[in-house]
Every structure is written in structure tokens, then in C-alpha cells.
Amino acid sequence: MILLPCSSVVERRPVKAFVVGSNPTAAAMNKKLLVNLRSTIKETRKHKQITQSQLAEMIGTKQSSISRFENGNYLPNLVFLCKLANSLGSEVVINFKSR
């Protein structure tokens, strides 16, 4: 489980780990999880009244990278997610558990 804790006003939403597999069900689940992740980060950014440009400057990237991520045109790596979370006063938590 990946958890991006947000402020008390913005709902805390767990984002489940990506489903491995090439079947349509796994792909649909992954898409839903990414939408949830992008939404959580965008809502947190807006709640803290931080612009995309300000956030980009905070993590050392371009505003267009933040925009592409929030609009679903960029699949972030873990380093990018950790930088986003840290700059928004949150953390990325990854949990491995047996099936």
C-alpha cells in the first residue's frame, strides 16, 4: 500500500500497490490507482495554495512536469513521488505484504 498522508482538511486516501499483469482488469485497476494518486497530490497542492510553478521550483523540475503528472500524461518514478510528497509535507509509505 502506498499512502500519501495529507493535511487534516484533505482526506487521507490509501493508494493500493500496482497490480502486476497484462490482463484488462489489472490495467483498469492500475489506471484507477494512478487517478487516485494524481488527485490526492493535486488536491493537497491546491489546499496548501501552492501553484504548479512553485511546486516545480521546490522539487527542482519544470512546471510542465507537474502539469503532465496531474493531467495523467506522465508516469512518475519513486524519486519524483518522494520529492512531491516531501515538498507538500507528506510522505510516501510503501508496504510489502504476503499474498
pLDDT means per 10 residues, the chain with 99 residues, are: 39 46 68 87 96 97 96 90 93 77
> What pLDDT, on a 0 to 100 scale, did the predictor assign at position 13?
45
> What pLDDT, on a 0 to 100 scale, did the predictor assign at position 10?
35
> What pLDDT, on a 0 to 100 scale, did the predictor assign at position 3?
46
Q: Helix, strand or coil for residue 73?
A: coil
> What pLDDT, on a 0 to 100 scale, did the predictor assign at position 7?
35
> What pLDDT, on a 0 to 100 scale, did the predictor assign at position 29?
72
Structural domains of the chain sorted by starting position, each given as residue range(s) with its CATH number in brackets = 2-94 (1.10.260.40)
Residues 6+ positions from 23 with CB-CB distance below 8 Å: none
CB atoms within 10 A of CB 66: 26
> What pLDDT, on a 0 to 100 scale, did the predictor assign at position 47?
96
> What pLDDT, on a 0 to 100 scale, did the predictor assign at position 95?
75
- pTM, two decimals, is 0.70
> What pLDDT, on a 0 to 100 scale, did the predictor assign at position 54?
98
